[in-house]
Amino acid sequence: MKEFKGRVVTPGTAKAEAVVTHEGFNTLASLQSALQFGDKTSKCGDQSNRDLYGKPMKGKALCLPQTIGSTTGGLVLYCACAMDRQPACMLFANHIDSLAAAGAILADVWLDSVSMPVVDCLGDEFLSYVKDGMMITIKEDGVVVVE
């Protein structure tokens, strides 16, 4: 078990199984099937992401360095939350970008029934340590426990 301290972007607690990518997370390419074609498990549709392609992301602790892609990223993330197809939480090794932050924050503020805690600035050591299937617990203060 190891603890990492990050910065809270959207508050909350969560306990979920990790799904990890060491590549940039293209929000639109990854979540398009879930939003457009009704995939309720939110399998990653980004064929360029070798770590995540085809893996379900709904209800998982999504561990990533950063998001990449177009300016639709924030809206796509918000829509995934509105449709209940979002990860349990998003854990960024690096600083979150403004688009992903906007989507997560708007979902947190506008959607009463949605909880998707987001923590960033967890560092490269976090992303090197965490592996698919490990259990992740997020505490209110931005501490992330990896078991």
pLDDT digits (tens, 9 = 90+) for 46-93: 999 999 999 999 999 999 999 999 899 999 999 999 999 999 999 999
- The full length of the chain comes to 147
* Short-list 15, 23, 20, 83, CA closest to 57: 20
Average of per-residue pLDDT across 140-145: 97
pLDDT at 80: 97
pLDDT at 70: 86
Average of per-residue pLDDT across 40-44: 96
* Short-list 76, 59, 63, CA closest to 16: 59
pLDDT at 119: 98
Domain boundaries along the sequence of the chain: 2-146
User: At 147, is the secondary structure helix, strand, or coil?
Assistant: coil
* Range list of H helices, 37-97: 73-82
Rounded distance between C-alpha atoms, residue 146 and residue 106, angstroms: 27
pLDDT at 94: 98
pTM over 0.85: yes
Percent of the chain with pLDDT over 90: 96
Task: Quickly name the fold that domain 2-146 has.
Answer: Glucose Oxidase; domain 1 (3.50.30)
Within 10 A of 38 (CB to CB), how many other CB atoms are there? 9
Burial class from Cβ neighbours inside 10 Å (0-12, 13-18, 19+) for residue 36 reads: exposed
pLDDT, tens only, 88-117:
999 999 999 999 999 999 999 999 989 999
Asked whether residue 122 carries a pLDDT value surpassing 90, the answer given is yes
pLDDT at 21: 98
pLDDT at 147: 97
pLDDT at 48: 97
- Please, are residues 49 and 144 in contact by the beta-carbon 8 Å criterion? no
Instruction: Indicate the pLDDT class of residue 145, thresholds 50, 70 and 90.
Output: very high
